[in-house]
């Protein structure tokens, strides 16, 4: 599993995932391609991520689902998307994000993510 973490996800998540999950690739948008895509339009970002086989992890719940729908209607593909809702896991909660991505990777890390979209779920032991 190779993830591209968008700018709403703390860069510390990528560092912690690298230590915690050997075999999981997680790169932060700020560090990917020298930050060239930090302000890129979502369609351009998703297309470039797909070319590199990167699953986009994002908190952008308003623009991304309609974009995915449009891509599907047009027969275009993406490498996968993990949607994260601030009401489920706060973007400031690095530990919860890392735990949830780790759990997702352990269960679904070897699966084909092409055109897949999934909400990240808080780990049970993290719920309160």
Give the separation between CA 86 and CA 122, rounded to whole angstroms.
11
Kindly report the pTM of this predicted structure.
Answer: 0.93
The label of the residue with tokens 């070897």 reads 110
Give the separation between CA 99 and CA 68, rounded to whole angstroms.
26
User: What are the start-end ranges of the H helices in the chain?
Assistant: 11-20, 42-51, 64-73, 94-108
pLDDT tens sequence across 73-125: 999 999 999 999 999 999 999 999 999 999 999 999 999 999 999 999 987 65
Residue 8, token pair as written in the block: 């709403």
pLDDT tens sequence across 37-68: 999 999 999 999 999 999 999 999 999 999 99
């Amino acid at each position: 599993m190779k993830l591209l973490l968008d700018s709403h996800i703390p860069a510390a998540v990528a560092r912690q995932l690298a230590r915690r999950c050997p075999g999981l690739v997680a790169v932060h948008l700020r560090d990917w391609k020298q930050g060239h895509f930090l302000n890129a339009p979502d369609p351009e970002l998703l297309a470039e991520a797909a070319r590199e086989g990167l699953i986009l992890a994002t908190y952008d719940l308003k623009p991304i689902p309609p974009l995915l729908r449009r891509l599907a209607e047009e027969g275009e593909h993406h490498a996968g998307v993990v949607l994260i809702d601030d009401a489920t896991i706060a973007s400031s909660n690095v530990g919860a994000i890392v735990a949830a991505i780790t759990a997702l990777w352990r269960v679904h890390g070897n699966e084909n993510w092409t055109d897949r979209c999934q909400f990240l779920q808080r780990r049970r032991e993290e719920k309160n």
